[in-house]
Amino acid sequence: TQQLLVQTEKLSVAGQLAAGVAHEIRNPLTALKGFVQLMEGGAVAKEPYLRVMASELNRIELITNELLMLAKPQAHSVKVQDVGAILLEVIALFETQAILRDVQVIAELERDLPPFACDENQLKQVFINFLKNALEAMPAGGRIDIALWHDGDLIRVSFADQGGGIAPELLTRVGEPFFTTKEKGTGLGFMVCKQIIENHHGEIRIESVVGAGTTIEVLLPL
């Protein structure tokens, strides 16, 4: 039956996630264990090992922090928010990174947005993840266009970058737990966004052209 199908699917996503978490955390843990054993043996210079250990610990921290975003109860502090102000705050957060990467961020925000009820911290997280992905897609610089407007009973936010784009065969995998094409990626950012936007009953659209760029659009019902 329909119900059974839905439940099976849920279980498999949970299983996929659990397997991914175990795998992603086991790797840095195994490395850490090895370094501890080496250092117990003595007669080694500790400095270089400590640096690698700190970076492995950072990775575990990053992964657990992103996973905690998923565990947060559904939109539990929903209030009427100024979405434009939230977006500008996030853009300011990335200002230095953008300059360092030679990326110009252009934002066009509608002034008269209708009042919108949402979870500020969750929405901020979505903007952070999408802007971060856009920046990471443009190692050689370029331009990111961000727009915020409303259209009927939808709030729309878009992030358009001039990065390398996403190959069509990988498009459906974006947002799968731990799917990443980056050396230091976690593959959790997009999944967190999907979950948050789902909590707000909205949707995410991806448009991408390899070699030209990617546009992520978020649609949120008022």
Nearer to ligand ADP, 28 or 163 (CB): 163
* Residue placing its CB nearer to Mg ion in the complex, 164 or 189: 189
Q: What backbone torsions phi and psi does residue 16 show, to the nearest 5 degrees?
A: -60, -45
- Any bridge partners for residue 109, and if so which? 148
DSSP H or E run through 208: strand 203-209
Minimum Å gap between C-beta 115 and Mg ion is: 30
The answer to whether 215 and 206 have CB atoms below 8 angstroms apart is yes
Least distance to ligand ADP from the beta carbon of 36, Å? 27
Q: Choose the stretch contacting ligand ADP; rule: CB under 6 A; options: 5-13, 80-88, 109-117, 172-180.
A: 172-180
Return the residue matching tokens 């252009």.
106
Stretch that binds ligand ADP, among 68-76, 86-94, 111-119, 189-197 (CB under 6 A): 189-197
| Cα distance between residue 174 and residue 220, in whole Å | 20
Per CB under 6 A, does 119 bind ligand ADP?
no
Q: What's the CA gap between 151 and 127, in Å, rounded?
A: 19
Determine the interface stretch with ligand ADP among 72-80, 117-125, 129-137, 147-155 (rule: CB under 6 A). Answer: 129-137
The footprint of Mg ion on residues 129-148 (CB under 5 A) is: 133
HSE of 151 in the Cβ direction (CA atoms, 13 Å)? 10
CA torsion 72-174-164-185 (nearest 10°) is 50
Residue 187 contacts Mg ion per CB under 5 A:
no
Q: How many Å apart are CA 99 and CA 213, to the nearest integer?
A: 19
User: Does the footprint of ligand ADP cover residue 97 (CB under 6 A)?
Assistant: no
User: Residue 166: which of ligand ADP, Mg ion, none does it interact with, CB under 5 to 8 A by kind?
Assistant: ligand ADP
Q: Per-residue contact track with ligand ADP, 130 to 149, x per CB under 6 A?
A: ---xx--x------------
Calpha distance 175→186 (Å, rounded) = 11
Residues within the interface to ligand ADP (CB under 6 A): 129, 133-134, 137, 161, 163, 165-166, 174, 179-182, 185-191, 214
Q: Which residues bind to Mg ion, rule: CB under 5 A?
A: 133, 189
